[in-house]
Amino acid sequence: MAIESINPATGKLLRSFEPLTDNAARQKIALAAESFRTYSLIPLEHRALWMRKLASILEHEIDDLSTLITEEMGKPLAAARLEILKCADVCRYYAEHAARILAAESIPTGDNYSYVRWEPLGVVLAVMPWNFPFWQVFRFLAPALMAGNVALLKHAGNVPQCALAIESLVRRAGFPRGAFQSLLLEIHQVETVLGDERVVAVTVTGSETAGRAIGAQAGWLIKKSVLELGGSDPFIVMPSADLDLAIDTAIRARCVNSGQSCIAAKRFLIADEIYDVFESRFVAGMEAMRVGDPMKQDTDIGPLATVHGIELLEQQIQAATRVGARVLTGGERMLGAGNYFEPTVLTGVPRTSTVYREELFGPVAMLFRVQDINEAIEIANDTPFGLSASAWTREPAEQQRFISELQCGGVFLNAMVASDPRLPFGGIKHSGYGHELSAAGMREFLNAKTVVISSAVSPSDPATKPYMVSAAEPSHSN
């Protein structure tokens, strides 16, 4: 079956690609394995030079790359430009900080000299989603290549042009052939690629279903895996919050990337004494969001990326109303060409319903009235997901309770949830395991090798020379 690139704003076919045959995929894996043997030995400063060049190319070609994103998955053009700039930022972050992150750590162990050195694992498979077709890849690509690993990308089937563009960018920046390759595969071929003994690890960003399948196979194969899956992030507003700022941020947090983001706020838990004001103004704000042509600079919400996505959202809203939820605004697909959906607000979704425990991947918000902080925390944690949370309060005691009691990978106080190259990114529960970004993300695909040198061996003994070869390792006098 062909891999098709379809413009979600018009439904028109842009390009079609034949998936790789299994034999062609094996050849690419062989190239990656061969590349790793030499690439992992390239000095870190050379890799940093290529990574900075990659950042520069991204910035120089931002117009073409952002247009490609918008045409292929429907992201509003202004947001697509920000995505490209963020990719450049993560490249520069790891170019600048890789030496610090990879530096060997001396550890006192009595009379012996001991340290930990960080070594790349090898060929890493990345299974990536369509919603941030460049950023999701680059936040893996930058630390993986700077660490000395090589990568194979299986991108989402609806963004093949983005996948090929990323491979071209990496090569043009100077990275050697085979260091990063995009594999245009059908989903069932992932099992074959991951099963190849030359592939040593896998990272997945996507749905629970994809995470379960690939994580299970990786576990059976005893291969390292990192899973960044779905989210149903709470957005909590307490009486002491700056209500104007909270409401404005809540609207943006629900509609980021047309609502198609794992860290978008999805469940809004509002204190009883401010609930009515919040609901009225939030609904008005959602209705004011401009839905339309993603190529226009003033568009807030573009089309959903796939027909399947809009059909699923319709089914979820219908399921919610059948069990008693009320639609305060929106709730329907917009007429005409393209996968457009009205900004929607639901209230009264029963906590016993199926849809309450699902992720709504589109511009659909669920509002809940809470009596106090205890109920807010209870409902916030009453989800199979645990990615992140945004909580709004000026009370120090409430802030500390949110920090310590919310069950998730990240808590943002009086701020919208966002990823940052400097901070670990990841979730718990059904949102996955492992981390991306920061030092933690880089070290997910590194071997922490313990080295112990007996004090009985003279530092001048030739047997000790190999440990001093790398500039990233400590000298014997440290």
Active site residues: 228, 262
Answer yes or no: are the C-beta atoms of 428 and 407 closer than 8 Å.
yes
In sequence order, what are the beta bridge partners of 326? 347
Round to whole Å and give the CA distance between 233 and 247: 16
Answer yes or no: are the C-beta atoms of 146 and 44 closer than 8 Å.
yes
Maximum CA extent, the chain: 80
What one-character-per-residue DSSP string does 305-316 give? S-HHHHHHHHHH
Which residue reads 């909580």 in tokens? 391
Q: Which amino acid is at 9?
A: A
| Cβ neighbours for 156, distance < 8 A, ≥ 6 positions apart | 128, 129, 130, 133, 206
Q: At what angle do helices 243-255 and 272-288 cross, to 10 degrees?
A: 50
Round to whole Å and give the CA distance between 139 and 110: 39
- The number of angstroms, rounded, from the C-alpha of 238 to the middle of its chain's C-alpha atoms is 29
Round to whole Å and give the CA distance between 33 and 150: 8
Answer yes or no: are the C-beta atoms of 427 and 386 closer than 8 Å.
yes
| Cβ neighbours for 399, distance < 8 A, ≥ 6 positions apart | 391, 393, 413
Which residue reads 């997945």 in tokens? 204
Round to whole Å and give the CA distance between 455 and 86: 48
Answer yes or no: are the C-beta atoms of 225 and 202 closer than 8 Å.
yes
Answer yes or no: are the C-beta atoms of 227 and 204 closer than 8 Å.
yes
Round to whole Å and give the CA distance between 182 and 3: 13
Going 11 to 211 to 144 to 233, the CA torsion angle's sign is: positive
- Of residues 87, 72, 68, the one with CA closest to residue 9: 72
| Torsion, Cα of 276, 279, 284, 285 (10° steps) | 130
Q: At what angle do helices 77-102 and 62-73 cross, to 10 degrees?
A: 110
Pairing between β-strand 199-205 and β-strand 265-271 as defined by DSSP bridges? unpaired
